[in-house]
Amino acid sequence: MKKRVFSGIQPTGDIHIGNYLGAMRHWAASQAEFDNIFCIVDLHSITVKHDAKQLYAKTRELAGLLLAVGIDPEQSAIFVQSHLPQHSELTWILNCFTPLGWLQRMHQYKDKSAKQETIGMGLLDYPVLMAADILLYESDYVPVGEDQKQHVELARDIAGRFNSIYGDLFRMPEPVISKTGARIMGLDDPTKKMAKSETVQGHAINLLDSPDSIRKKIMRATTDSQRDVVYDEKRPGVFNLLSIYQLFTGKSRSEIGSHFKGKGYSDLKSELAEVIIEGLRPVQERFKDVTNDPAHIEKLLQDGADKVRPIADKTLNKVKRKLGLG
Ligand code: ATP
Ligand code: LTN
């Protein structure tokens, strides 16, 4: 039996190269080895202010992008979280086993709540919904970027607490964080992670950006006042650009180091822009192809939901029986 991989991605905003290099690319690369479920987590997207029409459209766009980066529906189910009410139902149950203090110390909650005028319960509860996503499908591995590690660990804590009371019901999931690309930084501010929710112009390269826009954003990326192109963690701007270059070209650090020897930041930037444009070209072409037919995307999402529903039902029924519900 293949081990199960589960991961989720929010349909808020534009999908960027951080999402791609830190998560989506790895999902596509390892899918033959596993039994995979990829969830478009629209219920997570409503934890902050959102626009209904846009959320609906972005959900479909994201399904197209998942296909475009190489997720194969024969090997992986793709579905929308809100199509399965089991996610919300298990969230409520898990809420009753999650101490408030565990949620209040989550980094993402602290960051995002600081930016909101009023903080909805949903923002605090975000990681419990994520735990429900993971635990419903008896997931073995959860491949995510570095920023989500704490949430996967919380899912383990919640599962552990529940299991210690009711016996081993939930499978313990393990976070999988890739060694490279797990934390791509913002181009405007390389001390902050690249994020969809960041709206500053030039912050992120999106997967559907035009070549011109990619060139502009890279040329304007924040660096520092030094000159030589070297890997140095203390120079986060250049370090980030070099990491992106490395991930798109597949070259080693030493190859890249000697390639840029004697060259300056503007050489790095102009080469990097072309490397990204070429790297995204096939993704953008496939995206055009697959989204030509909107009915195809609807069918994909429906088939995905049909495929995973029995798994979610089975877990939820087990949980309810244990609790005396029903
Ligand atoms: P938000 O801005 O709302 O936090 P996000 O950009 O983090 O959104 P998500 O949909 O929450 O996007 O994340 C999808 C996947 O992409 C997750 O596995 C997440 O860890 C990964 N990811 C997000 N940003 C980065 C980044 N800058 N570098 C590497 N991986 C990332
Ligand atoms: N919170 C995640 C998205 C997400 C997720 C999940 C990831 C929701 N449910 C389950 C892995 C497993 C994020 O990337 N911001």
Query: Could you give the domains of the chain?
Result: 4-177+293-323 (3.40.50.620), 211-288 (1.10.240.10)
Q: How confident is the model at residue 168, as a pLDDT? A: 94
Least confident of 177-191, 241-255, 271-285: 177-191
| pLDDT of 107 | 96
The two three-digit tokens of residue 287, written as one number:
């995206």
Closest of 85, 196, 64 to residue 132, by C-alpha: 85
- The share of the chain scoring above pLDDT 70, in percent, equals 100
Give the integer Cα–Cα distance in Å for 79 and 305: 5
Task: Select which of 58, 110, 196, 216 is catalytic.
Answer: 196
Q: Enter the tokens of residue 247.
A: 């991930």
Report the candidate in 49, 78, 74, 82 with the shortest Cα–Cα distance to residue 66: 78
Query: Ligand 2 centroid to 280 CA: how many Å?
Result: 23
Over the stretch 308-325, which tens digit does the pLDDT of each residue have?
Answer: 999 999 999 999 999 999
- Does 116 have pLDDT greater than 90? no
Which residue of 7, 78, 128 sits with most ligand 2 atoms within 8 Å of its CB, as the best mutation to test the pocket?
Answer: 7
CA 143 from chain centre, in angstroms, equals 9
Is the confidence at residue 85, as pLDDT, over 90?
yes
Q: Is 18 in the pocket of ligand 2 (CB under 6 A)?
A: no
Dihedral over Cα of 137, 140, 142, 148: its sign: positive
**Residue 127 identity:** P
Q: What percent of the chain has pLDDT over 90?
A: 93
> Does position 181 have pLDDT exceeding 90, yes or no?
no
Compute the mean pLDDT over every residue in the chain, rounded to the nearest whole number.
Answer: 96
* pLDDT class of 32 with cuts at 50, 70, 90: very high
Active site residue 217: no
| pLDDT per position as a tens digit, 273-283 | 999 999 999 99
pLDDT at 306 over 90: yes
- Best residue among 5, 9, 123 to mutate for probing ligand 2's pocket (most ligand atoms within 8 Å of CB) is 9
What per-residue confidence (pLDDT) applies to 63? 98
pLDDT > 90? residue 88 = yes
Q: What is the pLDDT of residues 185-244, one digit of tens each?
A: 999 999 999 999 888 999 999 999 999 999 999 999 999 989 899 899 999 999 999 999
DSSP string, 135-193: HHTT-SEEE--GGGHHHHHHHHHHHHHHHHHH-S-SPPPEEE--SSSS-PBPSS-TTSB
Mean pLDDT confidence for 1-26: 96
- Ligand 1 midpoint to CA 93 (Å): 26
C-alpha distances out from residue 260 to 49, 140, 141, 227, 256, Å? 44, 41, 38, 11, 6
Measured from the CA of 183, which atom of ligand 1 is nearest?
A: 28
Catalytic residue among 2, 58, 112, 115: 112
The pLDDT value given to residue 180: 80
Q: Is the CB of 235 under 6 A from ligand 2?
A: no
CA torsion sign, 104 to 105 to 111 to 112? Answer: negative
**pLDDT, position 62:** 98
What mean pLDDT comes out for the span 246-270?
95
Residues 47-75, mean pLDDT to the nearest whole number: 97
Mean pLDDT of 163-172: 97
Structure tokens at 128: 């419990």
Spatial contact of 76 and 38, defined as CB atoms under 8 Å apart: yes
pLDDT interval class at 52 (50, 70, 90): very high
- Ligand 2 atom 5: residue of nearest CA: 8
Res 125: pLDDT:
98
Residue of 178, 177, 47 whose CA lies nearest to 124: 47
User: In testing the pocket of ligand 1, which one of 19, 41, 126, 200 has its CB within 8 Å of the most ligand atoms?
Assistant: 19
- 216 catalytic? Reply is no
Regarding predicted confidence, which is higher, 240 or 180?
240
State how far the alpha carbon of 269 is from the alpha carbons of 228, 241, 280, in Å.
13, 8, 16
pLDDT of residue 134: 98
- Per-residue pLDDT band for 117 (boundaries 50, 70, 90) equals confident
Mean pLDDT in residue range 42-66: 96
Helices 52-68, 294-323: crossing angle, 10 deg rounding = 100
